[in-house]
């Protein structure tokens, strides 16, 4: 039998409980247990006026932003519409059915104002990391670092070549916000001062972004998201935005290590990273200054493929500071007896150079395989070689093989960031925009991790 036609009929009174309509296994319900924003009002007190119209509750705005990043809703305009319509989103934001959702423009106003002035998103991120540590998800003993390119919100055609780019001619007064941020960060080691090399092109709308072809495809403008994770459960301990150049990413790693120590008193035993981080100065900093074992492949260009002896064929005598060649002869930095002794020291580039005597090589049968076109053989050695040797020794251990597998965890987080959270391209411009987006995304990833690893207590328990 066909039932009666369904027609909407407004009821005079509703008996409706939002709580009953959010499924017990809904993701927002599971992460809600770990969202503690109780202290952000206190954190923001100095940034609100004591007079005037009451503001939108900052906790509400943060909750709405978390919904957006959790559910991959990038547009704030659409996010507000979704929160208006979706019962679970309303429940998470503590909005009842009749409560109004803030206008989307409120977010940008607060983000550019008091949220940035108070570094609120960093505060929220650190609160969640502290919860992860308190729940035993991060011991801080074994950390991994990596960076991933995130495309900037720019048009690659709206740019100027380095020959024509003149930052001195920009008027900061009339420039857009992202351009003003670019001017402000020109001396920042994570952005303008990361390298003296000028990028091939500079974007007009977001000049701090880096023109890069690192993905081997067509070049584009990007920022780097730098993550430092604890490998126990892939909790993100720190996040940093930087230019997409290696120098900036190495600096970001140092910043994150020091900041994590200051904030959470974490002193890692092991740092895992890929070859990009295997430079001499960084290995030196890790080994000598921070006492961290570098599970990082060393960048070494001394290998040869033409059959000529490479540096590994020469034995270094630490005691006498010399190399011994395959023919048994000594290579030294200096042999001349100066009337005024000159200290043996590195050249300006930090490279020590060791040479044989011409007389030793002249009659040597191994010369065709050693220095066929030169009268003597030269071997170079970095001033950071002791620390590089520490990394080389670790490279041969089983622990290093385990570290290679653990390193995948940070790469998986970047895949999750782009595929699930939809952060393949930034929505906000400028260094501060990139920083805000990375902090919110990392906060969300940690919240999802907490929800996944810590089961919801059963109602009967
Ligand atoms: S050529 Fe010179 S440096 Fe090379 S093996 Fe012979 S003696 Fe040693």
**DSSP state letters, 130-181:** HHHHHTTS--SSEEEEEEEEEE-SS-TTSEEETTT--GGG--TTTS-HHHHH
**CA dihedral for 253, 290, 292, 260, sign (positive or negative):** negative
How does strand 351-355 pair with strand 378-382?
antiparallel
CA 318 to chain centre: 37
CA 419 to centroid of ligand 1, rounded, Å: 56
Q: What is the pLDDT of residue 460?
A: 57
Q: What is the pLDDT of residue 65?
A: 93
List, as one string, the DSSP characters of 36-64. Answer: --TTHHHHHGGGS-SSSSPPPPHHHHHHH
Six token digits for residue 296:
């990082």
- List for the chain the helix, strand, coil content (%; round to 5): 40, 15, 45
Ligand 1 atom nearest the C-alpha of 376 is 2
CA distance 335 to 360: 13
**Strand blocks (E) in 263-360:** 270-272, 293-295, 315-317, 322-324, 330-331, 351-355
Ligand 1 atom nearest the C-alpha of 370 is 4
Residue 226 pairs in a beta bridge with: 147, 240
**Between vectors from CA 175 to CA 173 and to CA 176, what angle results, nearest 5°?**
125
For ligand 1, residues with CB inside 6 Å are: 325-327, 329, 356, 360-361, 364, 366-367, 370-371, 377
Six token digits for residue 197:
């090399």
The pick from 365, 367, 375, 379 for probing ligand 1's pocket by mutation, whose C-beta has the most ligand atoms within 8 angstroms, reads 367
The residue contributing the CA closest to ligand 1 atom 2 is 361
Q: Where in the chain is the domain with CATH 3.30.420.10?
A: 127-299+391-453
87-97 in b/e burial notation, b at 16+ Cβ within 10 A?
A: bbbbbbbebee
The residue contributing the CA closest to ligand 1 atom 7 is 361
- 127-299+391-453 CATH pick, 3.30.470.30, 3.40.640.10, 3.30.420.10, 3.40.50.10490: 3.30.420.10
Mean pLDDT per block of 10 residues along the chain (461 residues) reads 76 80 89 88 81 84 92 90 93 89 87 84 94 93 94 88 83 84 85 83 90 83 95 94 92 94 93 93 94 93 84 89 90 75 65 88 88 89 91 94 94 93 90 93 95 78 50
Q: What is the pLDDT of residue 341?
A: 63
């Amino acid at each position: 039998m066909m039932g009666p036609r369904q027609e909407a009929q407004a009821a005079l009174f509703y008996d409706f409980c939002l709580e009953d309509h959010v499924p017990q296994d809904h993701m927002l319900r599971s992460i809600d247990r770990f969202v503690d924003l109780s202290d952000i009002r206190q954190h923001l007190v100095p940034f609100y006026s004591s007079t005037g119209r009451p503001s939108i509750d900052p906790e509400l705005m943060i909750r709405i932003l978390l919904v957006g990043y959790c559910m991959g809703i990038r547009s704030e305009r659409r996010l507000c519409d979704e929160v208006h319509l979706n019962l679970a989103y309303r429940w998470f934001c503590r909005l009842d059915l009749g409560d109004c959702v803030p206008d989307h423009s409120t977010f940008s106003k607060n983000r550019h104002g008091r949220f940035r002035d108070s570094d609120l998103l960093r505060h929220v991120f650190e609160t969640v990391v502290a919860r992860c540590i308190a729940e035993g998800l991060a011991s801080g003993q074994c950390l991994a670092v990596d960076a991933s390119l995130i495309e900037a919100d720019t048009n690659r055609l709206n740019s100027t070549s380095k020959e024509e780019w003149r930052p001195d001619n920009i008027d900061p007064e009339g420039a857009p916000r992202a351009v003003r941020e670019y001017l402000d960060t020109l001396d920042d080691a994570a952005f303008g001062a990361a390298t003296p090399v000028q990028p091939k092109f500079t974007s007009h709308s977001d000049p701090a972004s880096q023109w890069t072809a690192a993905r081997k495809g067509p070049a584009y403008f990007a920022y780097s998201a730098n993550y430092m994770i604890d490998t126990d459960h892939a909790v993100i301990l720190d996040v940093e935005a930087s230019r997409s150049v290696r120098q900036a990413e190495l600096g970001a790693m140092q910043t994150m290590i020091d900041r994590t120590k200051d904030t959470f008193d974490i002193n890692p035993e092991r740092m895992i990273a890929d070859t990009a981080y295997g430079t001499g100065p960084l290995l030196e900093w890790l080994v000598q200054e921070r006492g961290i074992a570098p599970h990082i492949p060393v960048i070494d260009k001394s290998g040869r493929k033409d059959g000529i002896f490479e540096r590994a064929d020469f034995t270094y005598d630490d005691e006498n500071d010399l190399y011994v060649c395959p023919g048994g002869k000594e290579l030294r930095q200096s042999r001349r007896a100066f009337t005024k002794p000159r200290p043996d020291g590195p050249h300006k580039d930090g490279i020590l150079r060791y040479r044989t005597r011409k007389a030793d090589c002249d009659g040597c049968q191994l010369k065709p395989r050693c220095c066929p076109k030169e009268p003597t053989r030269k071997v170079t050695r970095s001033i950071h070689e002791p620390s590089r040797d520490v990394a080389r020794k670790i490279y041969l251990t089983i622990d290093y093989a385990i570290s290679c597998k653990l390193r995948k965890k940070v790469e998986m987080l970047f895949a999750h960031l782009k595929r699930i959270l939809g952060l393949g391209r930034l929505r906000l411009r400028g260094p501060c925009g990139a920083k805000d987006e990375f902090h919110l995304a990392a906060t969300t990833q940690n919240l999802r991790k907490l929800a996944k690893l810590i089961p919801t207590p059963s109602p009967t328990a």
